[in-house]
């Protein structure tokens, strides 16, 4: 929660429409991370966001989303941080501490903006889709928002100044069903697909201009951030010297790849000259951050390998491992590969964003956990085999019962998936096999949860227990994913309710009547009983600290 000096997280479970959890509030106040007034502004803004989105989604479900709780990253120092950073993909969004010095109306509008942006990923579309939010806002609410927009200090503040100016004409827009057009219409309109919004043709230029101004404000903010990251050519080389000395002295168990794929360092190297050349123009902050990343990789790798009683028994190939991306394991060399070009930042130019390193440590141990599973260090012990077979059969039956209970109006959406599954064998067995097809991810996390710091495991779970609506998996596949991923929560002591509050599962599957909560809970519990049959062989992997 307080792992970084320039930002902190308000956990999803700590902030609801009822306010901020008192223990978290005391923690933030005692640490000097926020003032009482800022927290009251956050609470009031979140309450407005919740009540208004709840109302809008009930009245206009095609174009509006229900509110949800999210992990809020509050940035206290924006320099050097990507705009709209999501530290935990799919379950988080970002505000700035300066936002909390404005007004709850401003905070509420920002929360609506961030939530829409996670769905659309486009600034002009986000602004357009949210214009109907303002239809029911009274003059006082609009005035408070406009005044706050005019004084706000966030990097993209001008986007919301432009939105405040647009409130002069927003009431001339129509929306189906919030403000339906007359029949017959008395002037020509342009329909905005997906937003159910109707824009008078005479306002089309203003409407398009608003999106363009907002996008320009965001681009300008990004440029400003990038300009602040230009390497300081007057800096000393102390941090680079420290990194290179550490690589040699520790024989760091990491393989470093350059941005174009060339190898700069392996544990077998004794001269870091390639690393030094690649980082010659990097600033000290970036080098220090990179050094910290490599230390975490080295520490997690050494810790795992030192606990394995017979390292030679580990496989030198593992089909479930990823072999690309920012960080992955080379099982043949028993080392982690780290690319200087990470997924959202270049390590040569900028320090890692908040919570990146916690996720890095968790990912490294998760991948080693896959190696442990492949080596049968994590398995179903012989004494649990009969129980495992019985519980696996129960899982298949529970899943089949759930699917048969889906009401008739929703059955057509299932037909294609069920036809495909029926070709693979008896339905209960097929469903159990499908659900447990990626059981290795859970088992890898069993290892991680026992070996890494709690904050790393928390970061991993908050990133990986989320909705999969944007992946178009289909109901059966999505349920199969949730049915084992939800048990990650048990590994960090988070309640199952966390999933329901943050994932939109309730909105899409339970509130619509597609699924019954009792059936879903029965499926989740059935999977949990299967997972409980697995164990870590401590004669081969020591868990003692």
Under 8 Å between Cβ of 444 and 488:
no
Q: Which of 32, 5, 36 is nearest to 20 (CA)?
A: 36
Report if residue 23 sits inside a domain: yes
Beta 254-257 vs 335-339: how paired, if at all?
parallel
Q: Which two tokens stand for residue 215?
A: 């996008």
What total of structural domains would you count in the chain?
3
396 and 332 assigned to the same domain:
no
Report if residue 176 sits inside a domain: no
369 and 430 assigned to the same domain:
no
12 and 102 assigned to the same domain:
yes
SS (H, E, C) 109-135: HHHHHHHHHHHHCCHHHHHHHCHHHHC
Q: Which two tokens stand for residue 524?
A: 């989740």
* CB-count exposure of residue 518 (10 Å: 0-12, 13-18, 19+): exposed
Cis peptide before 33 (omega within 30 of 0): no
407 and 461 assigned to the same domain:
yes
Q: Which two tokens stand for residue 412?
A: 């057509």
434 and 304 assigned to the same domain:
no
Report if residue 184 sits inside a domain: no
359 and 392 assigned to the same domain:
no
358 and 400 assigned to the same domain:
no
15 and 161 assigned to the same domain:
yes
Report if residue 413 sits inside a domain: yes
**Host domain of residue 493:** 380-536
Report if residue 177 sits inside a domain: no
Cis peptide before 184 (omega within 30 of 0): yes
487 and 525 assigned to the same domain:
yes
Radius of gyration of the chain (CA): 26
Q: Which of 476, 366, 462 is nearest to 411 (CA)?
A: 476
DSSP annotation of 466 reads S
Non-local CB neighbours of 58 within 8 Å, separated by 6+ positions: none
Element of type H or E holding 96: strand 92-96
Last residue of a domain, one of 374, 399, 422: 374
Report if residue 77 sits inside a domain: yes
Last residue of a domain, one of 329, 344, 374: 374
Q: Which of 109, 97, 98, 103 is nearest to 163 (CA)?
A: 109
pLDDT per position in the chain (545 positions), as tens?
677 888 999 999 999 999 999 999 999 999 999 999 999 999 999 999 999 999 999 999 999 999 999 999 999 988 878 889 999 999 999 999 999 999 999 999 999 999 999 999 999 999 999 999 999 999 999 999 999 999 999 999 999 999 999 999 999 999 999 999 887 777 899 999 999 999 999 999 999 999 999 999 999 988 776 555 554 544 556 899 999 999 999 999 999 999 988 999 999 999 999 999 999 999 999 999 999 999 999 999 999 999 999 999 999 999 888 777 799 999 999 999 999 999 888 999 989 999 999 999 999 999 999 999 999 999 999 999 999 999 999 999 999 999 999 999 999 989 999 999 999 999 999 999 999 999 999 999 999 999 999 999 999 999 999 988 888 889 999 999 999 999 999 999 999 999 999 999 999 999 999 999 999 999 999 999 999 999 999 999 999 87
Last residue of a domain, one of 310, 341, 374: 374
368 and 479 assigned to the same domain:
no
Helix, strand, coil share (%) of the chain residues, nearest 5: 55, 10, 35
Non-local CB neighbours of 409 within 8 Å, separated by 6+ positions: none
d(CA 210, CA 189): 17
Report if residue 202 sits inside a domain: no
Q: Which of 349, 337, 178 is nearest to 252 (CA)?
A: 337
Under 8 Å between Cβ of 335 and 329:
yes
Under 8 Å between Cβ of 483 and 386:
no
d(CA 479, CA 417): 12
31 and 160 assigned to the same domain:
yes
Element of type H or E holding 287: helix 284-307
Q: Give the chain's end-to-end CA distance (angstroms, integer).
A: 25
Report if residue 189 sits inside a domain: no
274 and 306 assigned to the same domain:
yes
């Amino acid at each position: 929660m307080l792992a970084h000096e320039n930002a902190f997280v308000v956990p999803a479970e700590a902030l609801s429409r009822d306010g901020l959890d008192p223990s978290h509030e005391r923690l933030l106040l005692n640490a000097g991370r926020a003032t009482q007034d800022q927290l009251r502004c956050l609470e009031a803004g979140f309450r407005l966001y919740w009540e208004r989105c709840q109302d809008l989604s009930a009245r206009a479900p095609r174009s509006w989303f229900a509110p949800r709780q999210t992990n809020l990253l509050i940035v206290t120092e924006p320099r050097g941080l990507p705009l709209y950073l999501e530290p935990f993909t799919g379950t988080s969004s970002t505000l700035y501490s300066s936002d909390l010095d404005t007004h709850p109306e401003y905070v509420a509008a920002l929360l609506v903006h961030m939530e829409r942006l996670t769905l659309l990923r486009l600034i002009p579309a986000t602004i357009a889709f949210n214009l109907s939010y303002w239809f029911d806002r009274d003059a006082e609410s609009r005035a408070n928002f406009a005044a706050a927009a005019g004084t706000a200090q966030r990097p993209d503040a001008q986007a919301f100044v432009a939105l405040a100016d647009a409130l002069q004409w927003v009431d001339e827009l129509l929306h189906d069903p919030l403000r339906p057009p007359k029949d017959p219409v008395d002037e020509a309109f342009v329909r905005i697909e997906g937003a159910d919004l109707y824009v008078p043709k005479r306002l089309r230029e203003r409407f398009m201009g608003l999106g363009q101004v907002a996008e320009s404000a965001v681009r300008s903010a990004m440029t400003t951030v990038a300009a602040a990251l230009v390497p300081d050519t007057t800096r000393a080389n102390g941090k680079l010297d420290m990194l290179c000395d550490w690589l040699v002295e520790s024989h760091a168990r990491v393989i470093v790849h350059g941005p174009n794929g060339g190898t700069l360092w392996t544990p077998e190297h004794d001269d870091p000259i390639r690393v030094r050349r690649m980082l010659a123009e990097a600033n000290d902050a970036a080098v220090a951050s990179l050094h910290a990343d490599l230390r975490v990789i080295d520490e997690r790798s050494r810790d795992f390998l030192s606990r394995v009683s017979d390292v030679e028994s580990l496989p030198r190939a593992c089909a479930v491992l990823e072999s690309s991306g920012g960080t992955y394991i080379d099982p043949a060399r028993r080392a982690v590969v780290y690319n200087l070009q990470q997924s959202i930042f270049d390590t040569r130019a900028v320090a890692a964003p908040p919570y990146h390193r916690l996720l890095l440590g968790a990912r490294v141990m998760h991948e080693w956990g896959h190696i442990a599973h492949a080596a049968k260090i994590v398995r179903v012990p012989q004494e649990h085999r009969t129980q495992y077979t019985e519980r696996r059969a129960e899982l298949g039956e529970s899943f089949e019962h759930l699917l048969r209970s889906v009401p008739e109006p929703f059955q057509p959406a299932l037909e294609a998936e069920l036809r495909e599954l029926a070709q693979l064998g008896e339905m209960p067995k097929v469903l159990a096999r499908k659900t447990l097809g990626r059981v290795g991810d859970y088992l890898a996390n069993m290892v991680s949860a026992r070996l890494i710091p709690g904050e790393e495991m928390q970061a991993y779970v908050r990133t990986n227990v989320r909705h999969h609506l944007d992946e178009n998996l289909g109901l059966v596949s999505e349920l199969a994913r949730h049915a084992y991923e939800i048990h990650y929560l048990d590994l960090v002591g988070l309640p199952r309710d966390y999933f329901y509050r943050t994932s939109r599962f309730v909105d899409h599957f339970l509130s619509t009547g597609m699924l019954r909560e009792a059936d879903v809970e029965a499926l989740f519990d059935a999977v949990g009983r299967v997972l409980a049959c697995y164990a870590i062989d401590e004669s081969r992997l020591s868990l003692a600290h």
